[in-house]
Amino acid sequence: MQTVSGPRPAPVMSQNWDLFRFFLAAARAGSIARAAGQLAESPATVGRKLRELETALSATLFDRSISGVELTSCGSRILASAEQMEHQARLISEAVSGNDGQLAGTVTVAAPSGLGQTLLAPQLRELHNLHPELRVKLLLSTGKVNLLNREADIAVRIGTPSQERLVGHKLGAVGFGIYASSLYLDEIGEFETAADLAGHNVIAASGDMAQTVQCQEFAGISERCNVALTTDSIFAQMEAVKSGLGIAPFPKYLGRSHPDLVELLPGQLQATADLWLLMHPDTSGMARIQTVQEFVTRICKTALAGN
């Protein structure tokens, strides 16, 4: 029997997956600092994990410089294998959770309240009929959920994403219009120019809603209007407009969903906002999450076809 002195390096396949997770993050980000932000770790931790992996493999995986990190030829050769490990880790996660790729379990979807109530909720019966073991939890609160902390599986958000680690795609651009009820128009007649808004009642926004692009643009052209109501709820705003109290700006998909509303001065509001669907990279490949995101994507893209 041969004897050896000193510790023997572990075979590559026995290395901790966690080290390869740091390797993939750095390779994709091109910077230890950016990888740290995506992993919610400190740059020192990311650097230490990379050195541990390089020591275990007896190889240099990155060329380091002031501008960032770049894969060496060795690092490039093992990149595909590391990505396969990542995929297998996801499959294991699904198996442990009892779902193993089956269309069963709960998928939490966070969305803006108006979009979730008007577009998503009425369509979920179709998804349920197709996959009765699949349950959707719809979060329509005004606060933004943290996908990296797994507060939701899928988020539909208005505006450009700020967290680089999230994965997803743009669903389209949301257009906006100025709306009044048929009842209100019966009393005051048609509008021809923005100047015709002077003296009319508006349902003004407050709180976070006042900072939206449509409310800010509308505020600039409705300075000579009477504020009949101020609210931080788009649903209260909508109900007030439908009652004939006044006029307000809404996303066009929302305005179109209420046949008793009429768009005033089409094209007057020029602002648009991108709508995104986002997911956590570690769970985006799960079968149940993929199924729900495809369903949500189809609904939103159809609704936004007319902007």
Domain that holds residue 208: 103-307
Residue that is last in its domain, among 40, 70, 96: 96
Residue 7 resides in a domain: no
Instruction: Examine the domain organization and report whether 247 and 162 are in the same domain.
Output: yes
Instruction: Examine the domain organization and report whether 60 and 136 are in the same domain.
Output: no
- pLDDT recorded at residue 294: 93
Structure-block tokens of residue 240: 């007030």
Instruction: Examine the domain organization and report whether 150 and 202 are in the same domain.
Output: yes
Residue that is last in its domain, among 96, 117, 134: 96
Residue 178 resides in a domain: yes
Residue 4 resides in a domain: no
C-alpha closest to that of 268 among 252, 256, 280: 252
- pLDDT recorded at residue 236: 94
Instruction: Examine the domain organization and report whether 186 and 59 are in the same domain.
Output: no
- pLDDT recorded at residue 97: 54
Residue 62 resides in a domain: yes
- pLDDT recorded at residue 90: 65
CATH number, residue 272:
3.40.190.290
C-alpha closest to that of 203 among 175, 181, 182, 187: 181
Instruction: Examine the domain organization and report whether 69 and 134 are in the same domain.
Output: no
Instruction: Examine the domain organization and report whether 88 and 122 are in the same domain.
Output: no
Instruction: Examine the domain organization and report whether 90 and 124 are in the same domain.
Output: no
Instruction: Examine the domain organization and report whether 120 and 135 are in the same domain.
Output: yes
Q: What is the mean pLDDT of each run of 10 residues along the chain (307 residues)?
A: 38 67 90 85 93 93 92 92 78 57 82 92 94 92 76 90 82 94 80 87 93 93 94 94 95 92 92 93 86 94 82
Burial of 289 (0-12, 13-18, 19+ CB in 10 A): buried
Pair 61, 35: CB distance under 8 Å: no
Alpha-carbon span 245 to 42, nearest angstrom? 54
Alpha-carbon span 159 to 161, nearest angstrom? 6
Instruction: Examine the domain organization and report whether 34 and 157 are in the same domain.
Output: no
Q: Report the 10 Å Cβ neighbour count for 282.
A: 16
Instruction: Examine the domain organization and report whether 149 and 297 are in the same domain.
Output: yes
Structure-block tokens of residue 228: 């009949």
Residue 238 resides in a domain: yes
Instruction: Examine the domain organization and report whether 229 and 110 are in the same domain.
Output: yes
Instruction: Examine the domain organization and report whether 58 and 131 are in the same domain.
Output: no
- Rounded (10°) CA dihedral 125, 129, 131, 135: 30
Strand ranges, E, within 111-237:
134-139, 154-158, 167-181, 201-205, 226-231
Residue 234 resides in a domain: yes
Q: How many domains does the chain have?
A: 2
- pLDDT recorded at residue 95: 60
DSSP state of 142: S
- pLDDT recorded at residue 16: 79
Residue that is last in its domain, among 33, 67, 96: 96
Residue 3 resides in a domain: no
Residue 229 resides in a domain: yes
0.85 surpassed by pTM: no
Alpha-carbon span 4 to 45, nearest angstrom? 32
CATH number, residue 18:
1.10.10.10
